[in-house]
Amino acid sequence: MACYAGRNGVLKMGGTAVAQITSYTVNETADTAECTHFDTVGGYREYATTFKAFDGSLDVVWNRQDGDVVVGDTYAMELFPEGDDTATDWKISGNVIITGFEMSAETEGNVEGSISFQGNGALTRAAEV
């Protein structure tokens, strides 16, 4: 079984790599509706998927030369968990709306940022082409 180093990941917004990422999270969810009826077999409740969604966040070491994301703007997100150096690298992509940006710094630390986003439409997973 393959094991991938998280440090190789690349996240792009609108085709541009976003800052120096220190961590990221992408969450996928599916809503369900109960569709149990009198003739349901076995006495177990039944459910059907209604809507799917995704959201997430990323933490970065801030560097303004790396480009900037603007709260409220929509971007084409591309996440490459294995890196972005071969045509077979896995790519997770979808349109996102930036919903938050938080910046912080300490005397003996880097200027850091935390960016949150909400998916807008489908999230796709495939080998890079």
Q: Strand pairing partners for 53? A: 29
* Residue spans of beta strands (DSSP E) within 35-107: 47-61, 74-80, 90-104
Cβ proximity of 117 and 57 under 8 Å: yes
CA of 22: how far to CAs of 6, 42, 86, 119, in Å?
9, 49, 22, 21
Q: Taking all residues of the chain, what is their mean pLDDT, rounded to a whole number?
A: 86
Average pLDDT for 117-121: 97
User: Which residue is associated with the tokens 């490459």?
Assistant: 80
Task: Name the pLDDT band for 25 (thresholds 50, 70, 90).
Answer: very high
- Separation of alpha carbons 67 and 50, rounded Å: 37
- φ, ψ at 7 (rounded to 5°): -65, -15
3-state secondary structure of 3: coil
**Per-residue pLDDT tens for 88-115?**
778 899 999 999 999 899 999 888 889 9
pTM greater than 0.75: yes
From the centroid of its chain, how far is CA 40? 37
